[in-house]
Homo-oligomer: A and B are copies of this chain.
Amino acid sequence: MPGGDRLHRGGALLSGFGAAPTPALLLDAERLTRNVARVGDRVRALGARLRPHIKTHKCVEVARLQVAGQFGGITVSTLAEATAFAAHGFTDITYAVPVEPGKFAAALALAQRGVRLHLLTDDPAVPGPLAEAARAAGVRVDVFVKVDCGYHRCGVDPEGPALRELVQRIGERTQLRFAGLLTHAGHSYHARGADAVRAVATQEREVMRAATAWLAASGVTVPVVSVGSTPTITHVDHLDGVHEVRAGNYAFFDATQVRIGSCTLDDCVLTVLASVVHRDRTRGRVILDAGAIALSKDPGARELDPDAGFGRVLDLDGRDLGLRLRSLSQEHGEVPVPDAALLDRLPVGARLRIAVNHSCLTAAQHEAYLVHEGSRIVDRWAIHRGW
């Protein structure tokens, strides 16, 4: 641990990990840049456009890196994200949760402020009231129909009557523009290895192509076909028939993506900096000040790796110490350390880094990232939370 380091939030000098208060969320700038370039290039090479999902990071600075050289659109999971990003100059936003009437007013307020807002629905009862609300607000909005490509969370049957009915209801309303078809292959998170993920990616693409063809048969043109998940964009063969990719987690990756096969541990951007607050030589373990709030209680890819615990423990240089967070309480994390020599090196006050299980949920626990290059903290980026 470097001595004499000092962290001045908002000031000029932001240096090593040693001076940062713990727990803190560290963001590796070099890895972020690499991940963003890799997936941005890949989507371009596949002939699609990238509309990154910013729910993973909720951070304007990260989103700016992601849209550089892309068309500028983003995807959000909450209207609070949409509002915060609109205030920072993002004007083409897809709110990728089916919209419900309680959110019409907040969504349409964004459209009134000049945001090109894309909403989505999979329910025939929504277009009518949404159009009425849009008329009252004096705006038009783009509406995607959400399609179920096999994840079975939301979305209409890709070849059932509900799809045609929905497209028709949207088309009947002058306040609504039919934006296209949108899906999310969330079941890729349950796949194991590249071949299994590729099978899901193929399904995601082919279901959308079939739905597009089925609508074409009744004379309906689909302006945009939008798909997206980090595992599927990593392993998909081609994207013929797909216009837009909405991956998000790839900016950060995490231990879950390592298990799925989307990346290696060396691609993971987020770590939680933590301090030892208790050392127990009798039981061979330490307690850290990173608990369920600092990390989230996401069990990670436990179905892929029962021993995953709540995070891998790294040293300050990012080297895997072979330790795992076994249990979490609110502000405590327990790490078994069977090696007595290693335990000697972990007195109260020693600092460690935790490679997180699920970067999206961990990020949402914090108000900011400490951005680092090597062990030097170079910036602090805000996280826009809430609803």
Contact = CB atoms under 8 A, between A and B. Distances in A.
Interface of A: 21-24, 55, 77-79, 97-103, 106, 122-123, 125-126, 152-155, 186, 275-280, 283, 287, 289, 292-294, 296-299, 329-332, 334, 347-349, 351, 360-361, 364-367, 385-387
A289 B100 contact: yes
Given A278-B123, A294-B387, A347-B125, A21 B153 contact: no
Contacts of A332: 97, 153-154
A262 to B, nearest CB: 17
A288 B120 CA distance: 15
A253 B206 CA distance: 49
Nearest to A126: B348
B278 A98 contact: yes
B329 A277 contact: no
A27 B194 CA distance: 46
A326 to B, nearest CB: 11
A348 to B, nearest CB: 5
Nearest to A1: B102
A186 B329 CA distance: 10
B361 A292 contact: yes
11 contacts: A21-B387, A77-B330, A100-B275, A123-B347, A123-B348, A154-B287, A292-B296, A293-B361, A330-B364, A364-B365, A366-B386
Copies in the assembly, this chain: 2
A interface secondary structure, majority: loop
Among A102, A122, A347, A348, max chain B CB count under 10 A is at A102
A85 to B, nearest CB: 16
Contacts of A365: 364-365
A186 to B, nearest CB: 7
B98 A331 contact: no
B154 A102 contact: no
A77 B331 contact: yes
Given A98-B348, A297-B297, 20 more contacts: A21-B102, A22-B102, A23-B387, A55-B330, A97-B277, A102-B275, A122-B278, A123-B279, A123-B348, A152-B283, A153-B287, A153-B332, A186-B329, A292-B361, A293-B361, A294-B387, A297-B298, A297-B299, A365-B365, A367-B385
A23 B334 CA distance: 32
Contacts of A98: 277-278, 287, 348
A154 B385 contact: no
A22 B78 CA distance: 10
A126 B154 CA distance: 54
A276 B100 contact: yes
B386 A367 contact: yes
